Structure 1
């Protein structure tokens, strides 16, 4: 399973994919990171000199960029790095880190809690959600470092003209608009989102949103952004909060002021044995993770998905621009 929806897969499906991965699917041979990068604000003194580390990622743009960021940071700190990013399947990259086929990746807290660890209900507070995942995965040979503010979860968005016309900035305000002027709220969503309890149905119930089925259009996720941007088929559309098209198409995201949607904060997931051997990994990654938020993710994702740039190039340029590494 690739793409952003992978981190919302049902636990039963996750277990099936895990079995397939364990049977030999998933990892490619990878290639060494050959970039000549040096320490900046991280990696001073080459604390990872002599280490041979393998980084991995899932197969969608954001996670590939995060994997490249991690690999380049390790390289700047002195390690030899093997790039095994862009693994097909939601489970493949995680299983590689757990089994030792890879050493580290950026994973999402909600993904681990719901999809991998099998819980039905997310934890609303992002720090508590991260701590719960950290503590549970410690038993699986995985260590979670501090999370980023980057939270790749569901949201509703509209174009700027609609935001000016209706003045909505939160989902509570969208719900109030739907009750006050039902004709003003039309939604473009994916079929899965329309059917999920943690999607449209649950959101409408939690916020008291009055949107009859006749005002909901179901379509492919990529089309939603175009439809919302043009304001042709819907005033609001389902988006992912870190999608690069939000900025590129000048969309305005409605704040989930009641914290209905699960938290999917990105955080480094490290093979515990690797971290015990190379504890400097934490010092290298913590400052970088702390800088990652939704605005940064949208910018980097747009460079890949809108401008067509290579994820490694995007990652390196950002790390240099932020002063984390030098060339």
Structure 2
């Protein structure tokens, strides 16, 4: 019965992916030449489809893959900017995407259905890698040190006025003055197990008592900084708008949120056929620290630069590729 349910789920996913227009794709947005990444004969002319989700960091990560493999000689098909984790995951399972960067916490909680994260970045990665390979034939590799975990943030002014610095402090505020704990949450964070429902359970917060606005993720940051619509909000820890708007990230003192290290994900058969991809991407992943990716995100979300240009210019500055 399990294989029947899985088949039905994949067929429904195929309909969703097709409805999203993912059957088309596009060309790589900018051209690059070899740098320290040299042409790889085994990848020469190989058509590789790269995907990403539809937010700044994911777009940057997707373009990093595209430019790196293009410099190695592959023919890239661009399927970045997919709405939602589940849609991108379905596209990968269905073979419409060959590889993408994804997050270990998302893999463990959302894709594999576990309630409790595994402590530690390495252990979380190893657990996801082992389970997803067995259950779905998906290989996780080339993990980066960057950890884009979910978090709750507030403005510097609100932190000073309330003294709230940790999620336990926030729980105390919500219990004594729910209106003062008004929160804006992104659409995914509002429903995910590793988002608002799980966070409120872990900290004993009566989530239904707090004034809550469900908004697009991009809206949360300025809304929290202004303090008009909400005093607290869900953020991603590596978002460039956090330092730009001088937001204060509340410490997760009960370690509820999983680690969300970025790692390359592809089907096992594809990885076995092209092991050179991991070799190319590992040095890039190693340099993707929280500080690095936050700065790249800031250049897009604050300075208004294009994600593809930011990704390309960083690869050029690191010597991986050259501008053609």
TM class, shorter-chain normalised? 0.7 to 0.9
> Which residue matches 1:154?
150
Aligned equivalents of 1:88 and 1:175: distance in 2? 31
Distance 1:61 1:201, change over 3 A: closer
Q: Deviation of residue 83 (structure 1)?
A: 1.7
The answer for unaligned runs of 5 or more in structure 2 is: 1-5
**8 Å contact kept, 1:189–1:237:** yes
Aligned partner of 1:31 among 10, 16, 26: 26
CA distance in 1, matches of 2:93, 2:196: 34
1:172–1:119 Cα change, 3 Å: closer
| Inter-partner Cα distance in structure 2 for 1:151 and 1:82 | 27
| 1:126 and 2:118 matched | no
Tell me, in whole angstroms, the C-alpha distance in 2 between the residues paired with 1:51 and 1:30: 17
SS of the aligned residue for 1:323 comes to: coil
How far the C-alpha of 1:105 sits from its partner, in A, is 0.7
C-alpha contact (below 8 Å) 1:18/1:91 kept by paired residues? no
Aligned residues: 310
Displacement after TM superposition at 1:183 (Å): 8.8
Aligned with residue 279 of structure 1, among 269, 275, 280:
275
| Cα distance in 2 between the residues matched to 1:15 and 1:243 | 37
Between the aligned partners of 2:183 and 2:96, the Cα distance in structure 1 is 41
Q: Which range moved further: 93-102 or 148-157? A: 93-102
Distance 1:16 1:253 in 2: 41
| Equivalent pair of 2:32/2:321 in contact (CA under 8 Å) | no
Following superposition, the deviation at residue 267 of structure 1 comes to: 0.8
Q: Is the 8 A contact 2:44 2:72 kept in 1?
A: no
Residues 1:310 and 2:302 aligned together? no
Q: Go from structure 1 to structure 2 and tell me whether the alpha carbon gap of 1:255 and 1:290 turns closer, same or farther (over 3 Å shift).
A: farther
Q: 1:22 aligns to what?
A: 14
- More moved, 199-208 vs 92-101: 199-208
Cα distance in 2, alignment partners of residues 224 and 102 from structure 1: 30
Structure 1 runs not aligned, ≥5 long: 1-13
Verify: 1:82 aligned to 2:77, yes or no: yes
Name the structure 1 match of 2:3: none
Correspondent of 1:62 among 38, 57, 61: 57
Q: TM-score, normalised by structure 2?
A: 0.79
